[in-house]
């Protein structure tokens, strides 16, 4: 009997008791990560909570909903105290500024559209924090993300969450196989409503705390304020050019425009009868290119920094493979296939989409109706 118990895996997949399993939990101060830490502590695991101070929270204290603001650090610490496990705050402000905030600003200035939450997971959280967890002697690191880690025949796989409305696979496509081996996602099988119910049942101070809606370091929700602050004088005026070559007006700087934008172009009513949209941003020329809505349609995507979580290695042998993809976090995966063009592997959408921009992510999923398994993805560099 004792031997059977030793061989039986606990809920985190280790063949030892919960008390002997040390888990570092990344705590943002929100309800999800708080419930993640509290439920593991309640199950008897050796829990250590860690919260990252990612930016100057002198200003952030004024916005309690923002990730890792001063109030959020306090909330995370209170949860740890209530549940009786240690909690540490680590100052990663310089790393976060360099790897996430400055990248965010520079990407916009290049005419692309960044996704800072992915960059944060790709660098600070799943590299720097994960190393801290190892240094603390942890068996694994857990987060409150809504995504599943499933043991497959060839090792752990990344699968979409049970709650499709909260699924965060789009933001975790850069997770490597090595990181996935060490990570755990205890909330992946829950609905968000169940998570809140658990918070209430455990008496957590964050049970009724609203979800953050903004990028954590953009407290006003206006991203251009951040860019202007860290890259003063970077915005250079230039021409607004129709795709047929006509100069229609002037703009304040490419960072104020995004692909697919219609409002705020300031072109008046003398540009023709058809509504105009931003169809391209040529930062090297200082031009914002406009055209009809039909010119926004794209079906072929070139990618860089591809992270492959499927079987084998990513390469030319996958030419023609059917997959499903997400090009926006809020949309379900749609049919596509991989195609070798020249010596580059591209993604071709079965149905054209609009508003796609360099800098956005294209996330891969298995070609099944449920598209459960996440196969990685890459960053869009150009479209056609």
Per-residue pLDDT, averaged over 229-244, amounts to 93
- Catalytic residue list contains 120: yes
Which residue among the candidates 68, 120, 140, 362 is catalytic per the annotation?
Answer: 120
Q: With a cut of 50, say whether residue 63 has pLDDT above it.
A: no
Q: How confident is the prediction for the chain on average, in pLDDT?
A: 92
In angstroms, the CA 276 to CA 262 distance is: 6
Cβ-based neighbours of 314, under 8 Å, separated by 6 or more: 306, 308, 345, 376
Per-residue pLDDT tens over the stretch 104-136: 999 999 999 999 999 999 999 999 999 999 999
Please determine, for residue 273, whether its predicted confidence score (pLDDT) is greater than 80.
no
Residue 271 confidence (pLDDT) above 70: no
Domains defined along the chain, listed by start: 17-144+186-201 (3.40.50.620), 235-295 (2.30.30.280)
d(CA 219, CA 223): 9
Structure confidence at residue 266 (pLDDT): 86
d(C-alpha 48, C-alpha 136), whole Å: 9
pLDDT number for residue 214: 75
Both structure tokens of 319: 């030419």
pLDDT tens per residue, range 321-353: 999 999 999 999 999 999 999 999 999 999 999
| Mean pLDDT for the stretch of residues 155-178 | 96
Confidence class of residue 65 from pLDDT cuts 50, 70 and 90?
very low
pLDDT digits (tens, 9 = 90+) for 14-39: 999 999 999 999 999 999 999 999 99
Q: What is the mean pLDDT of residues 263-275?
A: 75
Buried b (16+ CB within 10 A) or exposed e, 310-341: beeebeeebeeeebbbbbebeeebeebbbbee
Which pTM does this prediction carry?
Answer: 0.92
* 80, 54 Cβ separation under 8 angstroms: no
Six token digits for residue 68: 């890792």
Per-residue pLDDT band for 56 (boundaries 50, 70, 90) equals low
Question: Which pLDDT score, from 0 to 100, does residue 269 have?
Answer: 54
**Active-site residue 216, yes or no?**
yes
Rounded to whole angstroms, what are the CA distances from 74 to 29, 71, 144, 340? 7, 5, 18, 51
Phi, psi (5° rounding) for residue 317?
Answer: -65, -15
Mean pLDDT (whole number) for 202-222: 87
221, pLDDT greater than 50: yes
- 48-60 per-residue burial string, b: 16 or more CB within 10 A, e: under 16: bbbbbbbbebeeb
Model confidence at 272: pLDDT above 80: no
- SS3 of 27, please? coil
| Span 141-150, average pLDDT | 98
Contact at 8 Å (CB) between 62 and 16? no
Catalytic residue, from 67, 117, 140, 216: name it: 216
Rg of the chain on CA atoms, in Å? 23
């Amino acid at each position: 009997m004792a031997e059977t118990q030793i061989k039986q895996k606990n809920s985190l997949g280790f063949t030892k008791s919960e008390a002997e399993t040390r888990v570092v939990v990344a705590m943002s101060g929100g309800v999800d990560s708080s419930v993640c830490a509290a439920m593991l502590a309640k199950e008897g695991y050796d829990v250590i909570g860690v919260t990252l101070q990612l930016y100057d929270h002198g200003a952030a204290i004024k916005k309690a909903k923002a990730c890792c603001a001063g109030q959020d650090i306090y909330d995370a610490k209170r949860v740890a105290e209530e549940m009786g496990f240690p909690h540490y705050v680590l100052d990663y402000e310089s790393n976060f500024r360099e790897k996430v905030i400055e990248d965010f600003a520079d990407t916009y200035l290049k005419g692309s559209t960044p996704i800072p939450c992915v960059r944060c997971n790709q660098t600070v959280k799943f590299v720097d924090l994960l190393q801290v967890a190892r240094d603390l002697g942890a068996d694994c690191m857990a987060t409150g993300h809504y995504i599943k880690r499933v043991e497959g025949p060839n090792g752990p796989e990344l699968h979409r969450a049970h709650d499709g409305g909260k699924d965060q696979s789009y933001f975790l496509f850069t997770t490597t196989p090595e990181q996935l081996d060490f990570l755990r996602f205890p909330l992946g099988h829950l609905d968000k409503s169940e998570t809140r119910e658990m918070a209430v049942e455990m008496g957590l101070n964050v049970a009724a705390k609203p979800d953050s809606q903004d990028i954590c370091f953009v407290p006003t929700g206006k991203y251009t304020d951040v860019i202007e602050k860290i890259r003063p004088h970077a915005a250079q005026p230039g021409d607004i050019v129709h795709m047929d070559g006509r100069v229609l007006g002037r703009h304040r700087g490419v960072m104020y425009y995004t692909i697919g934008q219609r409002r705020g172009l300031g072109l008046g009513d003398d540009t023709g009868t058809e509504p105009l949209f931003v169809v391209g941003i040529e930062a090297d020329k200082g031009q914002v290119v406009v055209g009809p809505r039909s010119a926004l349609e794209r079906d072929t995507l070139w990618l860089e920094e591809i992270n492959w979580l499927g079987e084998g290695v990513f390469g030319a042998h996958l030419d023609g493979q059917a997959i499903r993809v997400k090009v926006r976090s809020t949309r379900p995966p749609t049919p596509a296939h991989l195609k070798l063009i020249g010596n580059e592997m591209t993604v071709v959408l079965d149905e054209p989409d609009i508003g796609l921009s360099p800098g956005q992510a294209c996330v891969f999923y298995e070609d099944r109706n449920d598209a459960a398994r996440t196969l990685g993805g890459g960053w869009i560099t150009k479209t056609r």
